Amino acid sequence: MKRAAIKAFFATLQAANPNPQTELAYSSVFELLAAVLLSAQATDVGVNKATRRLFAVANTPQKILDLGLDGLESYIKTIGLYHSKAKHLMQTCRILVDQHGGVVPRTREALEALPGVGRKTANVVLNVAFGEPTMAVDTHLFRLGNRTGLAPGKTPLEVERKLLKRIPPEYLVDAHHWLILHGRYVCKARQPLCWQCAVSEYCDFKAKTPRPA
């Protein structure tokens, strides 16, 4: 995808959705961190159902610790991999309380030092909570980076670096939201809805399947 097409691509997405937001429900930086940690290999809808109950009784690191592991698991058992996620969240809460005064840190290094928090999760927190121009490459962004020609790469990190380099600065803060939503609802994995796509004219993929009758 050429630079002129990239600018038009994001200008179109911005016009359609000027203020994109994560679909995870949260009301504090810690709730966001916990929700993103729990969201790996799970849907936002499923995570929101669990955290709605959890955050009503425990929405700080100390309150999560006070629940105990069994108590925490009882709230998130509907989420896939809940045993390991509960363990990681408990460990993360302990570190937040002991090392950060119960406050979520604002640096990548400190975030990635938390159990269960990888580069993607750190990028989400840095972007959504702190407004940093980061690129959280999940399956949607990885697929779109390659399929559209926007940022082809063999690894998530390669796609991330290319996205950061190629997306015009004025679109960077919101870009990962636009791409996630576009991948989730339009540029789907099995059959992209090219006939419904507002940015198809800028995309290198083009429709390879006919529009359904």
Which residues are part of the catalytic machinery? 120, 138
Tokens 């959280």 found at: 136
How far apart, in whole angstroms, are the C-alpha atoms of residue 202 and residue 33? 34
Closest CA to 35 of 16, 18, 59, 7: 59
- Per-residue b or e along 66-80, where b marks 16 or more CB atoms closer than 10 Å to that residue's CB: ebeeeebbebbeebe
